[in-house]
Structures are given as structure tokens and as C-alpha cells.
Amino acid sequence: MLETLFNLDALTEAGRLRLDDAGTHLMVPRSEGGAAVAWRVLPAPSVAPDLLRTVQLGPVTMIYGAALVRMQLAGADRWTIDVNRFAGAPKLTVHKESDARYRITLTGARFPGTDIPADLEATIYSAGLLLWALDLRLAWGGFVAERVP
């Protein structure tokens, strides 16, 4: 009988890059979003890639890693920050200030084909019982939005 090197229950979860239980293979969904229909199993590189982390913030799911932050509502993507979509030398950081507060910072980014800065700072936080809000600050134009539900 063939020994399975990964948790088969993981195949029914939402598709994300992940290591198998033994830490020797990567499981990569063939299509993004929703439950994985098919997976490719690849040998893990000697240096593990940045794996995505998932945090539930009330009704919003935040999926993040070194180069990506994705906000989902009811499983549908609503807002994505991907450093590969910016010019310059973008750096994305997600800082957990508490279980109910995360700060997202994009620095060194420019809108493609321009010298316009795309830097931003966003804080998502609990604003009361079952309520979550977002504060957003953009470098370009000094745009500020506070307590956006």
C-alpha cells in the first residue's frame, strides 16, 4: 500500500500553498479560491517559501504573507495588495498589534509607469461587539479614511 505523505483532509480546505505534515512536499492548488479540486505535489525547496497565514477578523478573513495581503468576505476576494503589481521596491509588512488589531504597511511602492507613490498604511481592528473597522492612509494626496466599516 502506498504511504501518503500529506494530510488528505487538507485537500478539502480552501486552496493555499502549504507544506505536508512531514515538511517534505509542497501542495499547490491548480486553481485559486474555493475548495481545491486538484493539487500538484512538489518537492519542497531546501528553504521553505513564505507560507500564507490566515486570520479571521469577524466576518473578514485576512490571508497574508511577505508579498500579499488578501481580504475576503464570505469566501470572495474583496481587497488584495500584491507587491508584484507595483513598481519601485515595494515592501509589505503585516504587524499583529493584538488579536483584535492588525497594521498593514506598504512602503517603497509606486504605481506602475509613474513616479506616484503607492505607499499606504491600513489598520483593521475591532470597533465593538461584532463590528470591525479600517483606518486607511495613502501617501499620495494625503488621503485618510477612518473607521470605515
Grade residue 146 by pLDDT with cuts at 50, 70 and 90.
confident
C-beta atoms surrounding 104 within 10 Å? 21
Which of 41, 10, 2, 44 lies closest to 24 in space, CA to CA? Answer: 44
User: Are 33 and 84 part of one and the same domain?
Assistant: no
The residue among 143 and 128 whose pLDDT is bigger is 143
User: Are 68 and 130 part of one and the same domain?
Assistant: yes
pLDDT at 38 over 70: no
User: Are 65 and 105 part of one and the same domain?
Assistant: yes
Per-residue pLDDT reduced to its tens digit, 103-119: 999 999 999 999 999 99
* Spatial distance between the Cα atoms of 71 and 63, rounded to a whole number of angstroms: 6
C-beta atoms surrounding 140 within 10 Å? 13
Mean pLDDT of 42-64: 74
User: Are 26 and 89 part of one and the same domain?
Assistant: no
User: Are 37 and 64 part of one and the same domain?
Assistant: no
Mean pLDDT of 50-69: 88
Could you tell me the residue range of the domain that residue 137 belongs to? 53-148
pTM over 0.85: no
